[in-house]
Chains A and B, each alone.
Chain A
Amino acid sequence: MLRFIGHRLLIAIPTILLISVFVFLLQKLLPGDPVLALAGEDRNPEMLAFLREKYHLNDPIYVQYFNWIWNALQGDLGISLRTNQPVTTLIAQKLPVTIQLAVMALFFAVIIGIPAGILSAYKKGTWIDWVANIVALSGLSIPNFWLGIMMILLVSVNLGWLPASGYQPFTDDPLQSLKTMMMPAFVLGTGLAATLMRHTRSAMLGVLQSDYVRTARAKGLGERSVVVKHALRNALVPVVTVVTLLFGELLAGAVLTEQIFTIPGFGKLVVDAVFNRDYAVVQGIVLCTAIAFILMNILSDALYRVLNPKMSDQ
Chain B
Amino acid sequence: MTEAPLLDVAGLSIRIDGTARDLVSDLSFTLNKGETLCIVGESGCGKSLTALALMGLLATPPLRVTGGTARFRGDDLLTLPPAQMRKLRGDRIGMIFQEPMTSLNPALKIGDQIAEAVRRHTELSEADARAHALEMLRRVRIPAPETRLDVYPHNLSGGMRQRVMIAIALANTPDLVLADEPTTALDVTIQAQVLELMRNLQRDTGTAMILITHDLGVVAEMADHVAVMYAGQMVETGPVAAIFDDPQHPYTIGLMSSMPGLDGGSDRLVTIPGVVPPARDMPGGCRFAARCPFADAQCAQVPPTTSAAGNTSHRVACWKAPLEQQEDAA
Contact = CB atoms under 8 A, between A and B. Distances in A.
Interface of A: 210-212, 214-222, 229-230, 233-234, 307-310, 313
B104 interface: yes
Interface string B100-112: 0011111110000
B57 A218 contact: yes
A234 B107 contact: yes
B57 A308 contact: no
Contacts of A310: 106, 152, 154
Contacts of A229: 108
A218 B120 contact: no
A271 B95 CA distance: 62
A218 B55 contact: yes
Nearest to B100: A211
Interface in B102-149: 102-108, 116-117, 120-121
Interface in B223-237: none
Given A214-B57, A310-B152, A219 B106 contact: no
Interface of B: 55, 57, 86-91, 94-95, 97, 99, 102-108, 116-117, 120-121, 152, 154-155, 165, 168-169
Nearest to A236: B107
Contact of A219 (B99, B116, B154): B116
5 contacts: A218-B97, A219-B89, A219-B117, A219-B120, A220-B117
A237 B19 CA distance: 38
A215 B87 contact: no
Given A220-B120, A309-B154, A230 B86 contact: no
Contact of A234 (B97, B103, B105, B165): B105
Contacts, number: 71
A23 B154 CA distance: 44
Contacts of A220: 86-91, 117, 120-121
A233 B116 CA distance: 16
Contact of B168 (A211, A219, A230, A309): A219
Nearest to A309: B152
Nearest to B168: A219
A222 B117 CA distance: 11
Contact of A215 (B97, B107, B152, B155): B97
Contacts of B57: 214, 217-218
B90 A219 contact: yes
Nearest to A215: B103
Nearest to A233: B107
A88 B57 CA distance: 61
Contacts of B169: 218
Q: Which of B57, B103, B105 has the most A CB atoms < 10 Å from its CB?
A: B105
Q: Nearest 10 pairs between A and B by C-beta?
A: A220-B90, A219-B90, A220-B89, A211-B102, A309-B152, A219-B117, A212-B105, A211-B103, A218-B95, A220-B86
Given A219-B168, A220-B86, A310-B154, A214 B103 contact: yes
A211 B107 contact: no
A218 B102 contact: no
A234 B90 contact: no
B140 to A, nearest CB: 16
A313 B156 CA distance: 13
A229 B109 CA distance: 12
A265 B279 CA distance: 62
Given A214-B97, A215-B97, A218-B89, A308 B102 contact: no
A60 B161 CA distance: 66
Contacts of B108: 229-230, 233
A230 B168 CA distance: 15
A230 B105 CA distance: 7
Nearest to B105: A212
Contacts of B121: 220
A79 B117 CA distance: 65
Contacts of B104: 212, 215
A307 B107 contact: yes
A212 B102 contact: yes
B97 A221 contact: no
B97 A211 contact: yes
A308 B108 CA distance: 10
Contact of A221 (B99, B106, B116, B165): B116
A307 B106 CA distance: 10
B255 to A, nearest CB: 28
Contact of B103 (A212, A233, A308): A212
A229 B168 CA distance: 17
A307 B108 CA distance: 10
A51 to B, nearest CB: 61
A216 B105 contact: yes
B153 to A, nearest CB: 9
A221 B120 contact: yes
A229 B155 CA distance: 21
A222 B119 CA distance: 12
A179 B169 CA distance: 54
B91 A215 contact: no
A217 B86 CA distance: 8
Contacts of A219: 89-90, 116-117, 120, 168
Nearest to A310: B154
A141 B89 CA distance: 45
A305 B325 CA distance: 69
Contacts of B154: 309-310, 313
A215 B116 contact: no
Contacts of A212: 102-106
A195 B204 CA distance: 54
A221 B87 CA distance: 8
B243 to A, nearest CB: 29
Contact of B106 (A217, A222, A309): A309
